[in-house]
Chain A
Amino acid sequence: GDSVTQMEGPVTLSEEACLTINCTYTATGYPSLFWYVQYPGEGLQLLLKATKADDKGSNKGFEATYRKETTSFHLEKGSVQVSDSAVYFCALWEAGNMLTFGGGTRLMVKP
């Protein structure tokens, strides 16, 4: 079945540092890929998505590229802020199925 593996956290960075959170997936077909973000005390919000190979999703300075050859969808940001502190979830969706989530990665950004 489908599965998503993401790097374990927590990831602790200083403000303005570069961020990469790794995400790899296993799927039977051609899934859509997502990054969701959960700020403290809140539900999940869609951060970005990509629906086919080589697509790049981007939002709020975050980017992720759908790499079919490596089955990856790594999340990147060039300069993190304290306000980016949150839990980040990688997820995939195949038509007819429900969302499959990774275990989540907690990011802590220190001033």
Chain B
Amino acid sequence: NAGVTQTPKFQVLKTGQSMTLQCAQDMNHEYMSWYRQDPGMGLRLIHYSVGAGITDQGEVPNGYNVSRSTTEDFPLRLLSAAPSQTSVYFCASREQGRETQYFGPGTRLLVL
């Protein structure tokens, strides 16, 4: 199993540009989520999904959209990038009823 994969690893955007961060898992996990990691603030939940077709907002959803058309994929869209969205983004998944989350390697995003 590849586990949780994320692309790209690193991206530079200009303010106002849009892009999609990709996340995929091959463990057939129902739950998937997106976090952003900022210095001194730990990981903050952006959006999450409890299954295909179902998404919900986390702690810091503004400026981001998600969709979950398949169990495997959970892309994160930045509609109009802002410098405040410079961060490291992690995707995670877990099995329904189990506590342990599995994290992808992260995407480092720089918005100029």
Contact = CB atoms under 8 A, between A and B. Distances in A.
Interface stretch (B14-22, B62-70, B73-81, B98-106): B98-106
Contacts of B35: 101
> Taking each of A49, A51, A98, A104, which has the highest tally of chain B beta carbons within 10 Å of its own beta carbon?
A98
A40 to B, nearest CB: 12
B45 A51 contact: no
Nearest to B90: A43
**Counting chain B CB atoms within 10 Å of each CB, which of A32, A45, A89, A104 scores highest?**
A104
A49 B41 CA distance: 21
Grouping DSSP codes into helix (H, G, I), strand (E, B) and loop, the A interface class, with mixed when no group exceeds half, is: strand
Interface residues of B, number: 20
Interface in A78-110: 89, 93, 98-99, 101-104
Interface residues of A, number: 20
B53 interface: no
B70 to A, nearest CB: 21
B58 interface: yes
A49 B45 contact: no
Nearest to B45: A98
Contacts of B44: 101
A27 interface: no
Interface of A: 4, 8, 32, 34, 36, 42-46, 49, 51, 89, 93, 98-99, 101-104
Interface of B: 4, 33, 35, 40-45, 48, 58, 90, 92, 99-101, 103-106
